[in-house]
Amino acid sequence: GAVVSQHPSRVICKSGTSVKIECRSLDFQATTMFWYRQFPKQSLMLMATSNEGSKATYEQGVEKDKFLINHASLTLSTLTVTSAHPEDSSFYICSARDKGAAYEQYFGPGTRLTVT
């Protein structure tokens, strides 16, 4: 149980275009989902926290107008990278907190974004 999926697993897009990444909790309800970014040979950096039905909370230094997060249901959150640039190329990882569990947080497999 407790599986989180991400789609797509890899995406290549041209500079200036927008890309949407989906994060789904497959067998549990997630009131809270988190989005992380990881550059090569670096650790995961939290970008934002999204709660179902409300606006996301962004970490300092993360542009909310560039990284649009929508958490419309208890099983789906989306991250849209708008007007992507090569410096946005990274590994994007989501995680979801199980509504029924106090502390458990499960991670998705990640999405590799390459902007050319």
Partner 1 sequence: DAKTTQPTSMDCAEGRAANLPCNHSTISGNEYVYWYRQIHSQGPQYIIHGLKNNETNEMASLIITEDRKSSTLILPHATLRDTAVYYCIVRGTLNTGTASKLTFGTGTRLQVTL
Q: Please report, as ranges, the residues that interact with partner 1 according to CB under 8 A.
A: 4, 6, 32, 34, 36, 43-46, 49, 91, 93, 95, 97, 102-110, 112
> Minimum CB separation from partner 1 for residue 107, in Å?
4
Kindly provide the residue ranges of all beta strands, DSSP E only, lying in 2-89, ordered along the sequence.
4-7, 10-13, 19-25, 30-38, 45-51, 57-58, 67-73, 76-81
48, 94 Cβ separation under 8 angstroms: no
Helix (H, G, I), strand (E, B) or coil at 87: helix
Q: Based on CB atoms, which residue is closest to partner 1, 32 or 82?
A: 32
Q: Based on CB atoms, which residue is closest to partner 1, 2 or 82?
A: 2
Q: Based on CB atoms, which residue is closest to partner 1, 11 or 82?
A: 11
